[in-house]
Amino acid sequence: MRRRAVLGLAAFLPGIARAQEAWPRRSIRIIVPYSPGGSTDTVSRLIAERLSRALGQSVVTENRPGLAGTIGVDVVAKSAPDGYNLVVGTTNQAINETLQPRRPFRLMTDLAPVAMMDSFPFALVVANNLPIHSVADLVVYAKAHPGVLNYASSGPGAALHLTMERLRTLAGIEMQHVPYRNYAEGRTALIAGQIQLLFDAVFTVTPLIRAGQIRGIATTGLQRAALLPELPTLAETWPGFEASLWNGLLAPAGTPETVIARLNAEVNRILAEPEMIAAHNTLGAVGMPMSPAGFRDFLASEIAGLAAVVRAAGVQPEG
């Protein structure tokens, strides 16, 4: 009896090995936890298209917006850890670790970092009706008019809100936060001169700057943005100042390491392709290849660093 059981197990184990070696055997889903059309959605579809070719299976993107990205991430956190369900994690998910203590998952325990994709630096832009053409001008004007300047964001605790709060603290200036339902409304208000400044993705505001509708004064990468090379970085005024919206692939915790390693290798290879580099340049983004372990360390550092920014900004976690 025992011998038959051992033989049965021996016959079963190669089957497991073959199943793992055969991955992927069907389509893979990448959930984007935001609405279609944004920077995260755009790059996710570019990566998915190239992963489909590399893996020989369709890789489909599915938008699951809601609760600052929490809904989409939760779907994958609760999915089978078989390599067929992935989600795009972003800066906002790292912020949510502090702002949403009651969410149903934890990034560092319920999900496995797979591959970092890229980061999008921000641009600091002001309304044309202000006599502000540089960061120095902004500081001088704000100190001469404390509390007069209004800046837009998509809500308290959003990445762009926290970036402005970092700037405000470093510069020692007072400004008023005006949250909008989305950034399109904030941009419209800026063009109309109803609010005075905001941070936004470089690729989003570059056409508005070029058209003379708003004025760019700085960017937030450690290097000058390829789309707006004439603008200095904030790091040129405050060394080490860097802020961006980053995107990376996460899988359910327990996903086989062989699957994670394969996905990581393919994404890193894709990021080095000339076509992908050109696409990133067009979007004002920078590819960020990392190992799974490197991405895990990066994620832990982001969660801790952004928690400190949240506390400094006085943003209260949800009850």
- pLDDT tens-digit series, residues 128-140: 999 999 999 999 9
Residue 80 has what pLDDT? Answer: 97
Q: What is the mean pLDDT of residues 12-33?
A: 74
Query: Exposed (0-12), middle (13-18) or buried (19+): which is 262, by Cβ within 10 Å?
Result: middle
Residue 162 has what pLDDT? Answer: 94
- Cβ atoms within 10 A of the Cβ of 212, count? 8
8 Å CB contact between 63 and 32: yes
Q: Is the pLDDT reported for residue 318 higher than 90?
A: no
> How does pLDDT run across 261-317, given as a tens digit for each residue?
999 999 999 999 999 999 999 998 999 999 999 999 999 999 999 999 999 888 888
- Cβ atoms within 10 A of the Cβ of 8, count? 10
Percent of the chain with pLDDT over 70: 93
Instruction: Give 8 or 23, the one with higher predicted confidence.
Output: 23
Confidence of residue 21 (pLDDT cuts 50, 70, 90): low
Residue 319 has what pLDDT? Answer: 58
- Cβ atoms within 10 A of the Cβ of 18, count? 9
Q: Which residues, in sequence order, are CB contacts of 180 under 8 Å at separation 6+?
A: 152, 153, 154, 155, 186, 189
Residue 290 has what pLDDT? Answer: 98
Q: Classify 90 as helix, strand or coil.
A: strand
Query: Exposed (0-12), middle (13-18) or buried (19+): which is 299, by Cβ within 10 Å?
Result: buried
> How does pLDDT run across 40-98, given as a tens digit for each residue?
999 999 999 999 999 999 999 999 998 888 999 999 999 999 999 999 999 999 999 99
Residues paired with 249 in a beta bridge: 88, 115
Kindly list the structural domains of the chain, giving each domain's residue range(s) and its CATH number in brackets, ordered by start: 2-119+245-313 (3.40.190.150), 121-236 (3.40.190.10)
> How does pLDDT run across 146-156, given as a tens digit for each residue?
999 999 998 88
> Which residue's structure tokens are 């009896």?
1
Prediction pTM value? 0.85
CA distances, 88 to each of 19, 29, 175, 257 (Å): 26, 11, 33, 18
Q: Is the pLDDT reported for residue 15 higher than 70?
A: no
Residue 97 has what pLDDT? Answer: 95
Q: Which residues, in sequence order, are CB contacts of 205 under 8 Å at separation 6+?
A: 123, 125, 187, 214, 216
Q: What is the mean pLDDT of residues 197-225?
A: 95
Residue 18 has what pLDDT? Answer: 44
Tokens at residue 131, please?
Answer: 């006599």
Confidence of residue 183 (pLDDT cuts 50, 70, 90): confident
Q: What is the CA radius of gyration of the chain?
A: 22
Please name the amino acid found at residue 285.
Answer: A
CA distances, 184 to each of 17, 109, 126, 173 (Å): 50, 35, 15, 26
Q: Is the pLDDT reported for residue 192 higher than 80?
A: yes
